[in-house]
Homo-oligomer: A and B are copies of this chain.
Amino acid sequence: MSSDTRWLDKGEQEVWRALRELIWGFESAMDRQLIRDSELSGVEYSVLAALSEAEDGVMRARDIAQALDWERSRLSHLLKRMEAKGLVARTECESDARGFNISMTAAGHKAIVRAAPGHVSFVRENVFDPLTDDERDALHSAATKIQASIRAAGLWENRGAPKS
């Protein structure tokens, strides 16, 4: 494809290093904060947060997977564990015998209500507070553009269904 690779110059390398460190470190830092201050892991929080945004706290597994952009098997494994912990419950789906409705239990609701303030504070204190308005806006548009570019290259999707 390219025998004439455009390598990164000194300045570009620094930008790339800063971005790479952020991408590698941010998620685990967020997880550490969550686990320290609540009993939820980052992925468990994600699922419960998705359920919270549904009106009645119930979603089909399919829709959770889509909302989080996860593989089905990943969600399936996680739901099994969360069910064992009593954070969610599953009921059969009336309209489609293949599906399941996932709902938050009282314990799940309690857990996310307890975890949410610390999580939001983490984001506010470490993302919004340190940035100027211009930096925040530029970060927004940069993140959006980078994602769009990767999507256009066909490398974003988890299971790139090659239409061959």
Contact = CB atoms under 8 A, between A and B. Distances in A.
Interface stretch (A79-87, A94-102, A103-111, A126-134): A126-134
A153 B127 contact: no
A156 to B, nearest CB: 6
Contact of A22 (B16, B135, B146): B146
B136 A15 contact: yes
A6 B135 contact: no
B26 A146 contact: yes
A123 interface: yes
Given A25-B147, A130-B145, 8 more contacts: A5-B117, A8-B128, A15-B127, A15-B139, A21-B69, A26-B150, A126-B153, A131-B146
